[in-house]
Structure 1
């Protein structure tokens, strides 16, 4: 069973719980975010929002390898805040074939708009392109019942 990756700067929120987890038949929700994992209050608030039928892990990048090893073979939704973590996770040897980018707020250097709620930096684009060339399927989609945009199509705006 696969690891699904969701890039969403809101991390766990209603759309993750009510839409994506059920749609993907998720068993585990794994948030990899150093800031949240190192803040007991944030970690507690985020964990409380998840129904008990999903096992929830909130960990640092460094601690994620051990957790992912323990849940290997299960349907996992890995949620990260920014595309730069995609490269780091991939380099750690965490296997994934599918990335959903759902919400990346505009930040400094995020001048490339994919949709009204997804803004990428040049570094983000290069990381996504690198993963695309390695066979990773990348889509941009808010929730399962909204239109999706594939990197295969969107990349033509950036690469000839």
Structure 2
């Protein structure tokens, strides 16, 4: 039995916003965006804002991390999934929970106190680096890329 058709998984602390909603969804040919985020799963206002950005041909689902782990394997092969998450800790939770992705597009991780900027859009602290290294051990390719036309960089090279 084949697993869910996850075209790409992206870390973006803004989750689905204009550029990502349209550019990445079109580039991937996704017809379902799954936002895995505990807060947004409870916040209908945020959900509507994200849905407004997406093309009409694309559906969106807003699941908690645990629900994503529980339901992702029930996805139909016709569902071409773009999985969007807020940070690397959540990515690791999903991967260790059995969500089968082997590629992680690292888009935006905002700078905050105690983090080190490793690219124009990504800042990390020790916990983030540890989580990325763990994902790499689990055979996840880590690709730093803002928009599809950017040249990707292996995140591990930047630590």
State the TM-score bracket (shorter-chain normalisation): 0.7 to 0.9
1:80-113 residue CA offsets vs partner (Å, 9 max, x unmatched): 11111011001110000100000110123322x2
Whole-angstrom CA distance in 2 between matches of 1:49 and 1:93? 29
Give the structure-1-normalised TM-score.
0.87
1:133-159 residue CA offsets vs partner (Å, 9 max, x unmatched): 2211111100011232113432xx4xx
Other-structure match for 1:150: 154
Moved more, 90-99 or 35-44: 35-44
Runs of 4+ deviating beyond 4 Å: none
Q: Does 1:15 align with 2:19?
A: yes
Whole-angstrom CA distance in 1 between matches of 2:103 and 2:41? 24
Other-structure match for 1:89: 94
Other-structure match for 1:126: 130
Whole-angstrom CA distance in 1 between matches of 2:123 and 2:68? 26
Other-structure match for 1:114: 118
Q: What displacement does 1:62 show? A: 2.1
Whole-angstrom CA distance in 2 between matches of 1:147 and 1:46? 26
Gaps of 5+ in 2: none
| Count of aligned pairs between the two proteins | 154
User: 1:29 touches 1:77 (CA, 8 Å); kept in 2?
Assistant: yes
